[in-house]
Chain A
Amino acid sequence: MMLRNFAREIRFLSKDRGALFWLALSFILSVIAVSFGVTEVREQRETIANLIEEDAADRANALEGQEDWGSAAYYAFHFTYAPPSDFAFAAMGQRDSTPWKHRVRMLALEAQIHEADTRNADFGLVGRFDFAFLAASVVPLLLILLLYDLRASERSASRHDFLVATAGSSLSLWFPRALVRVAGLALLLLVPLWVASLIAGASGMVTLQATGIVVGALAVWWLIVELVSRIKASPSVLLTSLIGLWLALAIVVPALSKAVIETNNPIPDGGEILLLQRETVNDAWDLPKEATMKPFIETHPEWREYAEIEEGFEWKWYYAFQQVGDQKAAPLVEQYREARLRRDRQAGIAALLSPTSFVERAFEKLAGTDAVSMIAYEDEVRDFHAELRAFHYPLMFPEKDYDSGLLAELPLYKPES
């Protein structure tokens, strides 16, 4: 019986040119969104592959002819990067505004890690047309346009009572009629996503979750449209109210939550981190050597016996004050990092109030392009930088003889994902 209802409504839909237009549009938009995404991910991968190669060549070049550990460490840059995940094509998220590649060396990390090698600022400002944006913001509008006047248009054609009287109950009429549209919309959106997932090699689990998010969001918006369109008002009043609701949920609630979250969680001025780090590093030149070596030894007691600086300039002292500069800034850095994470956590809670924010965040999470992933990348860079120090200190402090052959063992950045 239900099946027959659906078959009937599918036939009915196939003659509704307005609805077919919206459905075709959603399919085209979905294809555009995922193809741009796949292209962008491919480009980013190419860039990374290129940079890995160039970086290695440049490092080899820089290391050539060095005569001590200190200069070798000074001139050797190391490329770090967060490769786009296999699902990143669907949501570029924070990758457009937060750096995902760095070249670091063994100097104070705080002077390097905040470098932002981001794209054209206009891109970050306007944003990309990716699948997450489509699913979060545009699709609800398409759904509204598809469903708002299911009842109201029949009412204004004075067909409503006739239809219901013929069908016997509303359930066997409106439910299949709306469901066919919602299912059509979902399918037309998801098929390009599935195809792109296959091409990009995204895991089935992630694609399944993404499917769940899209379907869930459609269901929520369907419920909203359903509740509103039961009001006996003219189609244009219904549409106006629904657009108003969309505005409230997609723009006003996120903007309001953002304002509240950011006021309640002030973030340390990034400039302060740099300033503190720079003052510490520069002051060290003028301070007695012990002023640097003492705090250094506190965190690196294993080099205590090599911490006597006799010359006016020694590399180990130079790197020690770089390290101390980072150490001095560390509490501020931690505050900055914590504040970012706290803001993100609260944004996650606030997103429950806005299906638009929720979908966008959920996609970013699946794609590994959310704030947490970007911070995780920064943590990886910090870890790698620590590895660099751990490699050089045992050579530099005991003042082992320079052996360029050992540099083949230099740590190489390997992204976790």
Chain B
Amino acid sequence: MTSPLEARSLSLVREGNTVLDDVSFTVAQGEIFALLGGNGAGKSSTLLTFLGFLEPSGGDILVNGTSVGSDVALARSAIAYLPEAAALYGHMTAYENLDYFLDLADKLASQAEIDAALERVALLVEARSRRLQSYSKGMRQKTAIALALLRETPILLLDEPTSGLDPIAIDEFHDLVKALAEGGQTILMVTHDVYGACQVADRVGLLRRGKLVGSFAAENNKRINTEAVHAAFAEREAV
């Protein structure tokens, strides 16, 4: 069986700098894989190569067994992507945003389905017809996740999903992600939140200076390998 997400000896060079160097991993269906790393470790670049925004300089990147380079649109249609700052339109309401983006993704959803999705992410009913510019970061995040839910894609890519959220919102978010994975979605998230990653992920990969320096199952090892993690983050000071 092919993995929904696979990086094969992925390397990436941008403007002469090596961003990713021989990175290989797979994420199985229903699995949550968290890539941990400091600033500039190459986390976000990894996500962008899966979306076809960055072309690998070496190796390959596959979505559902197909190379992204051969059919970008196919890859994107299988993926819901949540950028770091939940990037929805501030001048539109949650309903209007969902309507717009679903249309953009060529996806039809009934009002009932939309409400169900918003219910699932626990966005207050009275907030749904308000413009997003009045939302807190957590509420925007919820709207963006509702969009991901409605798109019913098998794969979810999350970029620093919990940064800037308060602890309660983080917990809610983690529960939601776990529920999604249980429902069969494949989730790749990148984060520098070590403890959060270990709480939610099935497996954690450590990215350091563009290299995958280690990966371990988080579930069986609540006490994580602090040395490896610190080594990965030490890069920040070095930069």
Residues of A at under 8 Å CB distance from B?
A: 1, 4-5, 8, 11-12, 15-17, 157-159, 161-169, 172-173
Contacts and interface: CB of A to CB of B under 8 A. Distances in A.
Contact of B81 (A5, A16, A162): A162
A4 B103 contact: yes
B96 A8 contact: no
Given A158-B83, A162-B87, A168 B73 contact: yes
A16 B91 contact: yes
A158 B87 contact: yes
Contacts of B88: 159
A166 B83 contact: no
Nearest to B103: A8
Q: Which secondary structure characterizes the binding site on chain A? A: helix
A299 B45 CA distance: 88
A151 B92 CA distance: 18
B87 A15 contact: no
B106 A158 contact: no
B218 to A, nearest CB: 27
A203 to B, nearest CB: 42
8 contacts: A1-B106, A11-B99, A163-B87, A165-B53, A167-B76, A168-B76, A172-B106, A173-B104
Contact of A169 (B73, B83, B147): B73
Contact of A165 (B76, B84, B89, B99): B76
Contacts of B51: 161, 165
B100 A8 contact: yes
B104 A166 contact: yes
A12 B100 contact: yes
Given A161-B48, A161-B51, A8 B84 contact: no
A406 B81 CA distance: 93
A179 to B, nearest CB: 15
B100 A158 contact: no
B79 interface: yes
A167 B105 CA distance: 5
B101 interface: yes
A162 B48 CA distance: 10
Given A11-B100, A15-B96, A165 B87 contact: no
Contacts of A11: 99-100
Nearest to A167: B104
Nearest to A163: B104
Contacts of A169: 72-73, 76
Nearest 6 pairs between A and B by C-beta?
Answer: A159-B87, A8-B103, A168-B73, A165-B81, A162-B87, A168-B76
A158 B151 CA distance: 21
Contacts of B81: 161-162, 165-166
A184 to B, nearest CB: 18
A273 B228 CA distance: 96
